[in-house]
Amino acid sequence: MARPSQLVLVVVVYVTGVLLAMWRGPGSITGPLVGLALLLPTAVAVHWANEASDAGTDALTVRTRFSGGSGALARSNIEPRWLLRGSLLVAAGVATLAVALAVTARVPVASSILLVVGVAGGVAYSVAPVALMRRGVGEPFNAILGALVLPLFGVATVTGRVEALDVLAFLPFTLVTFCSVMATAWPDRLADGSTGKLTLQVRLEPSRLRAIHTASAVAWAVAVVVATWAAAMPFGLTLFAVLPFVLLGWKGYTRRAAAWPSVAAMVGHILVMSMTLLVALP
């Protein structure tokens, strides 16, 4: 239920933020280690909250490699309400610790703020009464939280601040992640609709969804060029290595359930970015 494969990706995204900050200049090494120790329980709490809140929907849908939840809750004897309580307890503990560390100057204030935003937003994404995933804003919110706030948290643990260039560097990743989130949400639309989970996939017609997906894919390509031109990251044009996956995802979106091309574009993007940063480190 903690979704180990997603935890690995969370760490990769976080480390990429750390690497970007180190590429820009020297900074603390203690901060990233403390940040990682805070990040892992945060991610687990967010995943638990999602599993518990989505239990009814996941029971009705056909699970795929990238959609329908982990399936672990249904196979266990744990009641969703107990998993949710555990999630809220861990989330509250992490948020309290982050604030305490900031107040005592053990970690930068900016990184603590981003962590609290992440844990609060991650819980609000799934849990009532907010439950953003049920209000038609879950997909963009998910992308912003996981592909922008998360790596910026990594940046802040090193430098103690976030600059416009940092945001610009991760804007392409946010856009390609949004395409991936839309693709993985598509197979669940019938189950989501039957349980009142009004995602974009439920609210909008396929033609409008494809238009949004197309605009996001084009914006991704433009953002890569702009970020490269602004020197927001090194070797930025290498990110076009995932363009074939972006195009495959665009071609198949709403036409088939397989979301792997869009997921491959997202994962490939962050791996290419992290490797180029490693190469470029002084």
Of 176, 165, 178, the closest CA to residue 234 belongs to 165
* CA 142 from centroid of its chain's CA atoms: 6
Pick the more confident residue, 71 or 5.
5
Mean pLDDT value across residues 11-16? 98
Helix (H) or strand (E) holding 244: helix 243-252
86 has pLDDT over 60: yes
The pLDDT tens digits for 159-179 are 999 999 999 999 999 999 999
pTM score of the predicted model:
0.92
Written as six digits, the tokens of 52 are 């518990």
Place of tokens 């120790």: 37
69 has pLDDT over 80: no
Written as six digits, the tokens of 213 are 């997906």
Contact 124, 87 (CB under 8 A): no
pLDDT score at 162: 95
pLDDT score at 67: 57
What residue spans define the domains of the chain? 4-280
Coil, helix or strand at residue 154: helix
Largest CA distance in the chain: 54
Pairwise CA distance, residues 45 & 87, whole Å = 4
131 has pLDDT over 60: yes
Mean pLDDT value across residues 26-32? 84
Pairwise CA distance, residues 93 & 117, whole Å = 14
- What is the percent of the chain with per-residue pLDDT over 70, rounded to a whole number? 94
Mean pLDDT value across residues 56-81? 67
